[in-house]
Amino acid sequence: MLECIAPGLLATIQDTGRYGMQSQGIGTAGAMDVFALRVANALLGNPRTAPALEITLGGAEFIALETAWYALCGADLGATLDGTEVPLCAPFRMTAGQRLRLPAARRGQRACLAISGGFVADVVFGSASTDLRCGFGGLLGRGLTRGDRLFSRGLCEPARLPSRVFTSLAHPALVSQEPLALLPGPALALLSAEDRERFLHESFTVSRASDRMGLRLEQALASAARLPQALSEPVAFGTVQLPPDGKCIVLGADRQTTGGYPVAGVVASVDHGRLAQLRPGETLRFRVTGFDEAHRAWQAREKQIAQLAIVAGAWWKDER
């Protein structure tokens, strides 16, 4: 059991998302950095969809009311356990009475805190993800507040530290600074030659207006105002919309189910975790990729997670 002393800017229970409901007007929600969530779960031998905590930018504090194992992946929020630094991307043990503090982001924006067995949460339409706009899933459909208590679905774990279970996957120090892989959309070719050149070769700054729904970019593409109106169509995580003001919106986990803005492209799923970790004031760039290249990158990442899950799962099974 874990008690929330301070939730920070935003802390929510999330899993891999609520899929198959967009045709009914219900969004996916889910972790912004699903990659970090899956790595944290794999480190603990959890199912890939086990609910975990997504903590944004820090300012959070928790106290353990029971002993359990945890894993922290994604952003580096300067986490400490009773004053001792907590390792990223490795299991750690919290005993009753210990305090976990995540004061401020040193790199990245969102950390994923998983517990052995996964957190107990409200499952709605097949997912425990918190949908903040609709107000369901997770913990009463809302972000954590002081005094909330979270329970684990796991069993008692061994006392010995699993030092062999460590990975560099989802570690913020190793996040690539390369341009984001973009599958081009129909509106990209309709921009002026100058704006296409800017879109594909210049950096864009993430605006303060960004959130889980999407990242708004500050630089404007003037020719976007002259693009023909588009019919509303389904949108996905990473969809790059071009509103009339020319300031791109890169959609995130809490996106709407459909959108009517012209689409410049969709960021390949292998780079979604990088999108999730971008903070206001930081920059991003795009590069055009093809479906075959994007699929190969996705397969390579899936292989890495699968290998980690096998190694970590075998270790936990032996120790239990």
47-104 pLDDT, tens digit each: 999 999 999 999 999 999 999 999 999 999 999 999 999 999 999 999 999 999 999 9
- Cα torsion at 114, 255, 280, 16 (round to 10°)? 20
| Helix (H), strand (E) at residue 1 | none
**Hey, what amino acid is at 62?**
F
Residue 167: predicted pLDDT: 77
Residue 137: predicted pLDDT: 97
Of 270, 228, 201, nearest to 33 by C-alpha is 270
Residue 157: predicted pLDDT: 55
- The CATH class given to the 180-289 domain equals mainly beta
Asked if the model's pLDDT at residue 301 lies above 80, the reply is yes
* Domain edges within the chain: 2-172, 180-289
Q: How confident is the model at residue 161 (pLDDT cuts 50, 70, 90)?
A: low
Residue 165: predicted pLDDT: 65
Q: Distance between CA atoms of 240 and 157, rounded to whole angstroms? A: 44
| Helix (H), strand (E) at residue 258 | strand 258-259
Q: How confident is the model at residue 318 (pLDDT cuts 50, 70, 90)?
A: low
Work out the number of other CB atoms within 10 angstroms of the CB of residue 215.
26
Q: Tokens at residue 90, please?
A: 């490795």
Work out the number of other CB atoms within 10 angstroms of the CB of residue 138.
28
Mean pLDDT, range 149-173, rounded to an integer: 70
- How much is the pTM? 0.93
Question: Residues in the chain, how many?
Answer: 320
Q: Which residues contact 74 (CB under 8 A, 6 or more apart)?
A: 33, 36, 37, 40, 108, 110, 111, 112, 170, 172, 273, 276, 277
Q: Tokens at residue 64, please?
A: 């353990």
| Helix (H), strand (E) at residue 169 | none
**Hey, what amino acid is at 66?**
E
Q: Tokens at residue 10, please?
A: 């935003």
What are 170-189's pLDDT values in tens digits?
A: 887 667 789 999 999 999 99
